[in-house]
Amino acid sequence: MADFNFYLNDMIAHHRGSENPNFRWWGSVCSILGKHLKEAGKGKFGKIEAYWCPDNWVPAAIGPDVIVYIVPNTNYSVIAANGGDISLANGDTNLIGLTATVRNICEVYYDRAEVGGIVRPDVIAGAAMHEAAHVKTQKGQEMHNGQTGYFSASPSYWSSPSKADIAFFGKIMGKTVIQNGGLKTKDW
């Protein structure tokens, strides 16, 4: 039985500085996401894990594994740095993440998951699942058709995913999509 690894690539781990000095929420993101993944993939995989990866570690996505890049804001977009279009995210600040299915790159902007200056780990985890679903289904906006909750066009991540959300992600988890864990954001 194959394993399922969900890699959250922190693109500025070694350059954090003033971008977010209070960066203690990453462990909670992995715990929350890991719980949802284990529920969705129960009985389908050997081991199911969510990993937070610093920017100097390049995960090798194998088989069903997925990579979501975590960036502070659209100024650090991995999609844009690799030739993709982020005009949708720049035009709608309610979008917490974006996926370029043509390039199989997905990213989450943690500045958009803040409440009172504090990042909500549950929102980052939910947005990461949503963007991973775009890559797994190889669908852009049409992935939202017929979806509610986490996978709708206007998702809310302020609560746990519904049973329908878990079932949907469980159906697509095993799909293999080739992703590159070594992409970069803007030059330092």
pLDDT at position 18: 52
Range of the domain at 125: 4-172
Give the pLDDT confidence score for residue 23 in this predicted structure.
64
Kindly state whether residue 118 falls inside one of the protein's structural domains.
yes
Q: What is the pLDDT of residue 115?
A: 84
Which pLDDT does position 145 carry in this prediction? 95
Any domain includes 128: yes
Residue 188 lies in a domain: no
- Residue pair 72/31 in contact (Cβ under 8 Å)? The answer is no
pLDDT for position 185:
80
What's 117's domain CATH number?
Answer: 3.40.390.10
Q: What is the pLDDT of residue 56?
A: 79
In a domain, 82, yes or no: yes
pLDDT tens string for the chain (188 positions)?
899 999 999 887 666 555 555 667 788 999 999 999 999 999 999 999 999 988 778 888 899 999 999 998 999 999 999 999 999 999 999 999 999 988 899 999 989 998 888 889 999 999 999 999 999 999 999 999 999 899 999 998 888 899 999 999 999 999 999 998 888 887 65
Count the domains in the chain: 1
State the pTM of this model: 0.93
Are the C-beta atoms of 79 and 68 separated by less than 8 Å? no
